[in-house]
């Protein structure tokens, strides 16, 4: 696995196996298991037989960890501190109500009574802070395409 080789695009799936994540991130499965012990933000879901299933935000976080360790030369401790700084900075941006993408204000006041608020706010903060600018741009374009498709379709009455 060469470090200078571009990583593959992350497919639109809900869960990824440890082997898939290893290929997507350019690291071996035993390294991923080790990083789980070292980085508290990295907690894949475990199912039967202790099989790990990673979500999209965790794949992005692993890529960020890989970049910090392999490309930027951080130690494990330094990378852990840097990730924590990034999460804290994102928390502060959200708390201050800074404007998000394309003038859309970030909703930082989710109510605990809100049925969509499931307590995973910290996980989302970590994943947002690990997303590259290119990743955000791709996501923004996709969301605009979805919005355009939805607004173009006739409303069906049930």
What is the secondary structure of 53-90 as a DSSP string? EE-HHHHHHHHHHHIIIIIS---HHHHHHHHHHHHHHH
Domain-embedded: residue 133: no
Is residue 126 domain-resident? no
Residue 39: CB atoms within 10 A of its CB come to 19
CA dist 50 and 31 (Å) reads 16
CA gap 79, 72 in Å, rounded: 9
Q: Within a domain: residue 52?
A: yes
Q: Going by C-beta distance under 8 Å and a sequence separation of 6 or more, which residues neighbour residue 66? A: 25, 26, 27
For 105-126, write each residue's pLDDT tens digit: 444 444 444 333 334 344 444 4
Q: How many domains, in total, are found in the chain?
A: 1
Write down the pLDDT at residue 112: 41
pLDDT digits (tens, 9 = 90+) for 12-46: 999 999 999 999 999 999 999 999 999 988 999 99
Contact between 45 and 53 (Cβ < 8 Å)? yes
Predicted model pTM: 0.58
Look at residue 65 and tell me if it is in a domain.
Answer: yes
First to last CA, the chain: 53
**Does residue 47 lie in a domain region?**
yes
| Token pair of 89 as six digits | 């900075």
Of the listed ranges 3-12, 56-65, 116-125, 134-143, the least confidently predicted one is 116-125
Whole-number Å distance between alpha carbons of 45 and 147: 31
Domain of residue 37, CATH code: 1.10.1660.10
Query: What per-residue confidence (pLDDT) applies to 156?
Result: 53
Indicate whether 118 belongs to any domain.
Answer: no
Q: Which domain holds residue 17?
A: 13-79
Q: Which residue has the higher pLDDT, 115 or 68?
A: 68
Is residue 64 domain-resident? yes
Place of tokens 């130690």: 75
In a domain, 51, yes or no: yes
């Amino acid at each position: 696995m060469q470090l200078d080789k571009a990583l593959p695009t992350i497919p639109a799936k809900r869960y990824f196996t440890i082997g898939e994540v290893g290929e997507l991130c350019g690291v071996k499965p035993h390294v991923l298991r080790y990083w789980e012990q070292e980085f508290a933000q990295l907690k894949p879901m475990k199912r039967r037989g202790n099989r790990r299933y990673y979500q999209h935000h965790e794949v992005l976080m692993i890529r960020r960890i890989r970049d910090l360790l392999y490309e930027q030369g951080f130690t494990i401790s330094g990378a852990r501190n840097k990730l924590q700084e990034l999460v804290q900075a994102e928390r502060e941006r959200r708390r201050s109500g800074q404007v998000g993408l394309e003038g859309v204000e970030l909703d930082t006041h989710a109510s605990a009574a809100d049925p969509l608020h499931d307590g995973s706010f910290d996980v989302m903060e970590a994943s947002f802070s690990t997303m590259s600018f290119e990743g955000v741009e791709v996501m923004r374009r996709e969301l605009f395409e979805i919005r355009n498709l939805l607004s173009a379709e006739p409303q069906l009455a049930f």
